Amino acid sequence: MTDLYRMLPEEMEDLVLELGQPRFRADQILYALYYKFPKDLSEIKQLPLEFREKLTEKGFTIGSTKEAHRVESEDGETTKLLLNLNDETPVESVLMQYKSKKMFGHPRSTICVSTQVGCAMGCVFCATGQMGFERNMKAEEIVGQVIHFAKILLEKGQHVTNIVFMGMGEPLANYSETIRAIQLLTHPRGFGIGQRHITVSTIGIVSAIEKLADEKMQIGLAISLHAPNDKLRQRLVPTAGPDSVKELIKSGKNYFLTTGRRVTFEYALIEGVNDMPEIAEELALLLKDNGSHINLIPLNPTAGDFNRPARKNVIEFERILYNGGINCTVRVEKGTEISAACGQLRTDILEKYNNTIN
């Protein structure tokens, strides 16, 4: 079985020609896939019945995600979905919306997609990292998450404005499928979102970051740093190498020089672990004149033993970085109460969902 959402426009053209159809059939299929969101081939009425039947006979299908559960935040601005893939494997995706500054403007609608079922990186403060690794997701399964939310937004007269690869899993550990998904989502004959509206977040696979830079795309890159020295970073990220901090700073700079896109270093603030003033001073010294951006993320509640720092500690950490000449912001978290924020995906909603069906 082959999901049509896996096929790049050029591959779609090859398919229709191979099946004896005129080239324009490819555009009919692509338009339906990315603007009408059909559930199956029978809904693409532009195609002759005989051709639809031939596609079905050849094992082509549409869509690889089915919604199993949905939960919304109290303010209605965050929606988390539990989606079942074709093999019934569950994954989570999140829609975060931000009100437009214009009176009647559309909200900024950001989709947070997963690239793996679980994660092998084992970050000690992350719910996904603690559940272990099951498998990589295919490009069509990644795209399917965006399509699912795009259909929900279409019903509201809205559309997807941004996509972040910050859900379950490490995108660069599933490199080829992540790149194919980005190509499908940004292709002008595919989903058509601008490359600058996509950000890939990585815990820091240096060789993959270098490879991504060589792709020369205009996507944003966010590197999860979490510590200014290797001893502390290895405590938080067990898979980190002995020189990971220096290597990540170097790879981030190379990404900027190659693509022209400023790199963001993500930093999860954990009470009593990496939120102290002396740690902030060390981080400021490390990143001085680097030209990058630091995104501070006060730890979100997970099943672990770590705690979120007090607000005053977050402000002080930010102040020290700012005074050290570091461009930094504190992330505005959304969906914490429904376990949809950074580091919270998968475990909580699965427990609730399983309880409802047992």
Q: Which is catalytic among the residues 50, 77, 92, 337?
A: 92
What is the CB-side half-sphere exposure of residue 179 using CA atoms within 13 A? 13
Residues in the chain: 358
Helix or strand holding residue 181 (H, E): helix 175-186
Q: How far apart are the first and last CA of the chain?
A: 31
- Please report, as a single letter, which amino acid is at residue 275: D
What string of H, E and C letters represents the secondary structure of 57-109? HCCEECCCEEEEEEEECCCCCEEEEEEEECCCCEEEEEEEEECCCCCCCCCEE
342 is catalytic: yes
Residue 328 falls in the annotated catalytic set: no
Which residue in the list 119, 123, 328, 342 is annotated as catalytic? 342
Ramachandran angles phi, psi of 43, nearest 5°: -85, -10
8 A C-beta contact, residue 139 and residue 180: yes
Question: Token pair for residue 238?
Answer: 């067990």
- Catalytic residues, by residue number, are 92, 342
